[in-house]
Chain A
Amino acid sequence: MNPHDDNELRELLKRSIAPMNDTELHRDLWPRMLRRLEQQQPLRVPWFDWALAAVAAATLIFFPGVIPALLYHF
């Protein structure tokens, strides 16, 4: 192998695989990016939902008498 052979091979490669002519982006990818961000975001529960769940659980634990009343209404 000599430098001349290398250059020849490089030329052959260049002539066999053409450079990409169209490298222009034809659409805005931001909507796809947003979808990706939404899919990957961990599910976030607001603090007040946790507070509401805690109040409901405490009510059922400390006042079990409300359970039959709730079942009757549902």
Chain B
Amino acid sequence: MDPQERFAAGDLEAFEVLFRQHQKQVYAWIVRIVRDTGIAEDLTVETFWRIYRSRAHFNPAGSFGAWAYRIATNAALDHLRKSRRETQLPDDLAASLTPDPAVQRESRDRIRKAFAKLPAKYRLVATLALIEDEPHDKIADAAGISVSLVKVRLFRAVRMLRKQLC
């Protein structure tokens, strides 16, 4: 019996094997969404807790990784909905937008604030597609929506940002 089958049957050792196989990928996915390493660690544990709880619904013939990505995305989305905190910006910001540092800082702040105000489902798609350059089909699979809906949400997110910045 492989670990996935044993996990579906409730075997804790099989769950540990799967946890160790997938924890890095799940963490890397979540940290791209929430942009905070501490919160991403908490959400990785939360994701695997949800996975363990719903093991009876897992199809051992399916992909554990794809299932884990889906649950991780939902956990991250729940966090974005609860949290009204601003998106943390890393220090290593890319090249300047304008030569004037004051204007550059102001512009950056405005974008950061506008981005933080986006509803969670738009922020999720915009973060993954526009900032992290993840392919639309991967975002669609992880969020459990169609590629067309990813494009629609992206379009709306850009429109909302434009509205707030103008």
Contacts and interface: CB of A to CB of B under 8 A. Distances in A.
Contacts of A16: 89, 93-94, 97, 107-108, 111-112
B14 interface: no
Interface stretch (B3-11, B62-70, B74-82, B129-137): B129-137
Interface string B25-57: 001100110010100010011001100100000
Given A23-B32, A25-B24, A33-B49, A15 B97 contact: yes
B112 A17 contact: yes
Contacts of A36: 45, 49
A25 B162 contact: no
Contacts of A24: 24, 28
B19 A13 contact: no
Main secondary structure, interface of B, reads helix
A21 B131 contact: no
A37 interface: yes
Interface of A: 1, 5-6, 9-10, 12-25, 27-30, 32-33, 36-37, 40
Given A15-B94, A20-B35, 10 more contacts: A13-B111, A16-B89, A25-B23, A25-B27, A25-B28, A29-B45, A29-B48, A30-B16, A36-B49, A37-B49
